[in-house]
Chains A and B, each alone.
Chain A
């Protein structure tokens, strides 16, 4: 009896029409993509058009795909890995799975967005910002440093999203620049003062609705909402910290080529395209509003120019290390 059912089941599997994937015979590369899918879907077709190399995307988030790559090891079907934030690149790099990125690609991007072992390259950036409710605060009342949000005067007035890799990257920046004791005090103050939400979008909504006076997030949430309708951000303004403050930290999306790939030149070509003027321009023109890192390309106004951000210099390969999670756990943020 179970054999009959097995046959029936096998038939069901084989005949389910939507389950058959089309197989093209042309050259293709497999990209594990943790960047926003819609964004890469805008860039990839241009590359396909120019090179005839098809880009197959497997999309997930940073933690899933990075851990999957580590488990796959040398047998991975992936040729290229793209992330939202750099720590996922570090995770894969620590497992020794990347090969060096071509020098001509590295030359396109400022060296501070390339790790010292040159195994991946930053291709997009997102700046830390504070959003404030314009009914409650004015630009003049915003603090000079993100560290000031731990002061008692901000009690009950600030929100942030500690679970995401985004915020953890910001904490890494603080730890890198200010040391353990200062970071601990900052986190503890933030935990006392702040409301924690899951997601930068929720942080923005909480500021917009006046639930809190200010929130910590990345710049593009605000600009995207403004571009779309302003529904969740019209009562708010952005405050950039600048002046190499940890609050001006820029987190980068990385691209890297897997050492196990047997399509090295196609994979390198794709990463090169992402960093090239043409690829970066496509990213700049998309809905994403994240900063292109190639200095020859910039976002249109009203987005604050990348050159004016004054971010702190931090080694991109050291972010989200063990002490960061530990500190956040000890101060009750995770």
Chain B
């Protein structure tokens, strides 16, 4: 209990920073800063991007999951692997790929297209996992009651997919609130890009911190909405039994058009950025391969990603444990509070940690230890969502059985619970790894001096005109992300008790 609360308090450090500045600024100036046309415009932009992307991700994620899991489309495992692949391409690399080929993607439509292509796997993955875990008996019962295919899907399948869909949407929404790099390149101003603009001027740091408060409110709104929509159902089953394989929907003549649609989606999501990177590698006049530096940066990115993922998952465990095993208003509050930092732009979180750590734990300032803590604070939700989902499916009754057989709490955790939730932990760790390896601002500010990662080198090169020099780093970034992506893809289709990212 105490450890869960401690983690939540740690995660709330950035929020405290934002609130402090809001108070320091005072109500009248805060009001002047918040109530002006520009803020209204940003609010509108942020809202339509978040809502639009969540809706589009839902349609694409659920549609693709259904096609892969429930139809007789040929080469389904291959499609599944490819549909997860966009996760290996960081959103800012995707934007870079598109923008450096055509400026037509700037503005709302382009931004919506590109962030959706980058983020839909966050919905697709949990939905695939849920679909795979569903007992077809329920659907067969519906058929026997003379429900058609569509009606069965709507009334039987969709409700069971709800936790997965909502969890995925929540992650998409939180990511978008904090997204900077991709949207800056696409010239689509949101709250987060405006916060960076504020920091850039010579006078307005405190105001920028205050505006970040609006993002906290948006985040709170998303969290509450998701909580309300999710309801209070429990989703654990003691055993899967020996469920029959589902009868797959025959696509018939539609199979090629459907395959064509998937191929088109993948061409946009993976093909374009890949083509663009290769293009810059070959034509960029500044292309060079400093092998030593590339490998060193890749090594640092890998090491930081792995260590960050490990620490974050460890911190996520008590939080998820509290939320599932001791359901109460307080434990829900603890769990939800860990999401706030995820919706804040990297620069706000980083500056908050700079401010706090240099005063409170000065000797640890700009050490790897503190940097890892920063990653944990930023990316805790990714781990909490996964571990929570896994725990949700580990029935309490198994613990009771273990206790009755004389196993102590530690032995029960090690021999019963851990094996059940291990895949969920792995998925959470993979998601955190992907985020850490592409993180930029906190890495710049909080890493020990002389640290370079693939992400920092990419930015350094791409901001000094050298697209060709930037491309090898972006490509390596994609390459080191592939194992985590494969892990996520496989995890989603494991016929294991834990159902992926689903809650």
Which A positions have Cβ atoms within 8 angstroms of B? Answer: 1-2, 4-6, 8-9, 12-13, 16-19, 21, 30, 36-38, 56-64, 67-68, 70-73, 75-77, 87-88, 90-91, 94, 163, 165, 168, 195-202, 206, 221, 224-225, 228-229, 231-232, 319-322, 324-325, 329, 334
CB contact list, B438-485 vs A, under 8 A: 441, 444-445, 448-451, 456, 460, 463-465, 467
* B313 in complex: contacting residue of A5, A57, A77, A321, CB < 8 Å: A5
Check A63–B359 contact: CB distance below 8 A. Answer: no
- From B38, which residue of chain A is reached at the shortest CB distance? A329
CA distance in complex: A319, B203 (Å): 11
Q: In the complex the two chains form, is B185's CB within 8 Å of A198's CB? A: yes
| Alpha-carbon separation in the docked complex, A200 to B462 (Å) | 12
A4 to B317 alpha-carbon distance, docked (Å): 12
B28 at the interface (CB under 8 A from A): no
Cα separation A72 to B306 with both chains bound (whole Å): 29
Pick from A8, A57, A197: contact of B310, CB under 8 Å: A8
Interface string of B371-383 (1 = CB under 8 A from A): 0100000000000
Q: Identify 24 residue pairs between A and B in the complex whose beta-carbon atoms are under 8 Å apart, listed by A's number.
A: A1-B417, A13-B311, A16-B306, A16-B307, A18-B302, A21-B448, A59-B460, A63-B200, A64-B347, A67-B347, A75-B359, A75-B362, A77-B365, A91-B202, A94-B202, A163-B184, A168-B200, A197-B187, A201-B465, A202-B103, A225-B465, A321-B201, A322-B203, A322-B204
Instruction: Choose from A13, A221, A322 the contact partner of B372 (Cβ within 8 Å).
Output: A13
Complex Cα–Cα for A8 and B317 (A) = 14
Is A9 within 8 A of B311, CB to CB? yes
Q: A19's contact among B286, B307, B410, B414, by CB below 8 Å, is which?
A: B307
Residues of chain B from 391 to 436 with CB closer than 8 A to chain A in the complex: 410, 413-414, 417-418
| Complex CA–CA separation, A2 to B441 (angstroms) | 29
Q: B185 near A13 (CB under 8 angstroms)?
A: no
Do A322 and B201 contact each other (CB < 8 Å), given the known contacts A1-B413, A56-B449, A75-B358? yes
Check A1 against B410 for contact (C-beta < 8 Å): yes
Tell me if B141 is interfacial: C-beta within 8 Å of chain A: no
Across chains A and B, the number of contacting residue pairs, with CB separation under 8 Å, is 159
Which residues from A are CB-within-8-Å of B306? 12, 16
Closest to A35 in B: B464
Which residues from chain B contact A232 at a C-beta distance below 8 Å? 285
B299: A residues at CB distance < 8 A: 18
In the complex, besides A16-B306, A64-B441, A198-B185, 15 extra interface pairs with C-beta distance below 8 angstroms are A1-B317, A1-B410, A2-B3, A5-B310, A12-B307, A12-B310, A13-B368, A18-B299, A30-B449, A59-B460, A64-B445, A68-B354, A197-B187, A225-B285, A321-B203
Interface residue total, chain B, C-beta cutoff 8 A: 66
Cross-chain contact B351 with A67 (CB below 8 angstroms)? yes
Task: Please report the C-alpha to C-alpha distance between residue A319 and residue B410 in the assembled complex, in whole angstroms.
Answer: 63
Chain A residue numbers with a CB within 8 Å of B369 are: 13
Chain A residues near B205 (CB-CB < 8 A): 67, 70-71, 91
Closest 3 interchain pairs by CB? A229-B285, A18-B299, A9-B310
Nearest chain A residue, comparing its CB with the CB of B3 = A2
A36 contact set on B, CB distance < 8 A: 464
Q: CB of B296 within 8 A of chain A?
A: yes
Residue of A nearest to B459 (CB): A61
Most A CB contacts (10 A, CB to CB) among B286, B314, B350 go to B314
A231 to B189, CA, bound (A): 31
Contact A71 B185 (CB under 8 A): no
Is there contact, CB below 8 Å, between A5 and B347?
A: no
- Interface centre among A18, A90, A195, A329, by most B CB within 10 Å? A18
Q: For residue A29, give the distance in angstroms from its CB to the closest CB of chain B.
A: 11
In the bound assembly, the distance between CA atoms of A77 and B447 in angstroms comes to 13
B196: interface (CB < 8 Å): yes
Closest to A20 in B: B368
Contact, CB under 8 Å: A71 / B351: yes
**Inter-chain contacts of A206 with B (CB < 8 A):** 103
B197 touches A163 (CB 8 A): yes
Whole-angstrom distance between the Cβ of A151 and the nearest chain B Cβ:
24
| Contact between chains at B200 and A324 (CB < 8 Å) | no
Q: Are A325 and B201 in contact (CB under 8 A)?
A: yes
Is B84 an interface residue when CB atoms closer than 8 A count as contact? Answer: no
B304: interface (CB < 8 Å): yes
Instruction: Kindly list chain B residues whose C-beta atoms are within 8 Å of the C-beta of A200.
Output: 465
Q: Which residues from chain A contact B410 at a C-beta distance below 8 Å?
A: 1
Contacts of A59 in B (CB 8 A): 444, 456, 460
Return B411 CB to nearest CB of chain A, in Å.
Answer: 10
Question: Is there a chain A Cβ closer than 8 Å to B283's Cβ?
Answer: yes
| Residue picked from B300, B303, B365, most chain A C-beta under 10 Å | B303
Find out whether the CB atom of A21 lies under 8 angstroms from the CB atom of B451. Answer: yes
Taking a contact as CB atoms under 8 Å apart, the answer to whether A325 and B197 are in contact is yes
Instruction: Report whether B445 and A68 are in contact in the complex, using a CB–CB cutoff of 8 Å.
Output: yes
Query: Is there a chain A Cβ closer than 8 Å to B168's Cβ?
Result: no
- CB nearest neighbor in B for A205: B100
Measured between beta carbons, the chain A residues less than 8 angstroms from B224 are: none
What CA separation (Å) do A4 and B422 show in the bound complex? 14
* Contact status A63-B199, CB under 8 Å: yes
- B467 contacts across to A, CB distance below 8 A: 201
Q: Give chain A nearest CB distance to B243 CB in angstroms.
A: 30
For the complex, is B355 an interface residue (Cβ under 8 Å from A)?
yes
Q: Is A71 a contact of B355 with CB atoms below 8 Å?
A: yes
B358 touches A60 (CB 8 A): no
B47 at the interface (CB under 8 A from A): no
- CB contacts under 8 Å to A, within B179-211, are 184-185, 187, 189, 196-205
Closest to A88 in B: B202
B152 within 8 A of A: no
Cα A63 to Cα B417 with chains together (Å): 47
Least Cβ–Cβ distance between A1 and chain B, in angstroms? 4
Write the chain B residue with the least CB distance to A7: B314
**Chain B residues, CB < 8 A from A329:** 38
Contact of B449 among A57, A197, A334 (CB under 8 A): A57
Bound CA–CA A79/B317 (angstroms): 41
- Residues of chain B within 8 A (CB-CB) of A68 are 350-351, 354, 445
Residues of B contacting A163 with CB < 8 Å?
Answer: 184, 187, 197
On chain A, the residues within 8 Å of B414 by CB distance are 1, 4
User: What is the CA–CA distance of A260 and B304 in the complex, to the nearest angstrom?
Assistant: 31
Q: Judge if B236 is at the interface, Cβ distance under 8 Å.
A: no
Asked if B366 is an interface residue, CB under 8 A from chain A, the answer is yes
Contacts of B365 in A (CB 8 A): 75, 77
Report Cα–Cα, A56/B365, bound state, in Å: 16
Q: Return chain A residues, CB-CB under 8 Å to B418.
A: 1
